[in-house]
Amino acid sequence: MKNTSHNSRVIRASVEKIYQALTDPQALASWQAPDDMTAKVHDFDGREGGGYTMSLFYAETDEVSKGKTKGKEDRFSARFVKLDPPHQIIQAVRFDTDNPAFEGEMIMEVTLEALGEDTKVSFSFRDIPPGIRPEDNEAGTASSLEKLAAYVE
């Protein structure tokens, strides 16, 4: 069975505002890096079939984590498989790595469900590379969802 994970959170913002934060490169750099990581978007094409390249950087003080790409960096490319504004985004993600444990295409599906003035944001991942434990992916996604809520609320 392929590795999967799922996270949801209700955020006090409209589906439109959250969709914008999911598809804006400056917003992505602000909220997508989990925990005390930082991020940089290298390029961005916001059309279906387009995508972006992004790096997530572990804190220099983090003596445990090693990047999937090099040093303290996890660089990846995301391709927009489906954009259904403002309700759904499906991305195919590939890590820039030489390590076979992190290779392959991971699918990330984000759905936004209006709940009055709030929105239920759900992240589902499938085909998570074997080098990433699903529970670690869930913890990182929970942290990113917390940052997303802080960004839009």
**Residues ≥6 apart with Cβ < 8 Å to 91:** 51, 78, 79, 80, 81, 107, 108, 109, 110
pTM as predicted: 0.92
Q: If you classify domain 3-152 with CATH, what class do you get?
A: alpha beta
Answer yes or no: are the C-beta atoms of 87 and 67 closer than 8 Å.
Answer: no
Domain positions in the chain are 3-152
Instruction: Tell me what percent of the residues of the chain surpass a pLDDT of 70.
Output: 99
Q: What would the mean pLDDT of 34-53 be, rounded to a whole number?
A: 95
Please return the burial class of 102, using the count of CB atoms within 10 Å of its CB with bins 0-12, 13-18 and 19+: buried
**Per-residue confidence band for 1, with pLDDT thresholds at 50, 70 and 90:** very low
| Interval 44-98: pLDDT, tens | 999 999 999 999 998 887 777 778 888 889 999 999 999 999 999 999 999 999 9
